[in-house]
Amino acid sequence: MQQWLLKVAVERGAAHYQRAFDPSLPPDNPLISDEEIGIALCLGQHPYSLDHLRAAAQLLSSPRVDAAKLCRLAVRERCEPVLLHIATVAERFAPTLEPWAFLRQHLPARHVPRSDALPHWSRLVSHTGVTQHGGLPRTDWLCRHE
């Protein structure tokens, strides 16, 4: 199931995590929303996978995501700490990017005993080095390819 979720996220625009997937995985189901796929990638009962959290962040970094629906799903599935962590990191690099700005305002915080397994900010962005044309290094939030 987890590999299917990652495959669907990549097919829907989380292209930074492109890889060869098992061809026997079922095809995408368009009846499952982007919000549901993103939340499913963040569920705590799955074995920890940094790539799943990162792919969820990229998939959900889209104006097509319904922020209110994402909030409702996060509360229902108890993913608030993960999404608030991502939203807080997004504030540093893309402060007005939705749905993260909405989540920072509307998603209730929930106490968790530990948060050290959440991705470091550097794992949610793209770093460019100094270019041969003299451009300065940049750090960009990984947005969904649409």
Q: Each residue of 3-13: pLDDT tens digit?
A: 898 899 989 98
Among 5-14, 15-24, 73-82, 122-131, which stretch is predicted with the lowest mean pLDDT?
122-131
Average pLDDT over residues 53-75: 94
pLDDT at 37: 94
Q: Is the pLDDT of residue 127 over 90?
A: no
33, 62 Cβ separation under 8 angstroms: no
53, 41 Cβ separation under 8 angstroms: yes
In a domain, 116, yes or no: no
pTM value is: 0.79
pLDDT at 102: 96
In a domain, 124, yes or no: no
Report the alpha-carbon distance of residue 13 to residue 74 in Å, rounded: 21
Domain containing residue 46:
2-109
pLDDT, tens digit (0-9, with 9 covering 90-100), for 76-110:
999 899 899 999 999 998 999 999 999 999 998 87
Number of domains in the chain: 1
Tell me what percent of the residues of the chain surpass a pLDDT of 90: 47
In a domain, 115, yes or no: no
142, 127 Cβ separation under 8 angstroms: no
In a domain, 126, yes or no: no
Q: Is the pLDDT of residue 61 over 60?
A: yes
pLDDT at 116: 65
In a domain, 134, yes or no: no
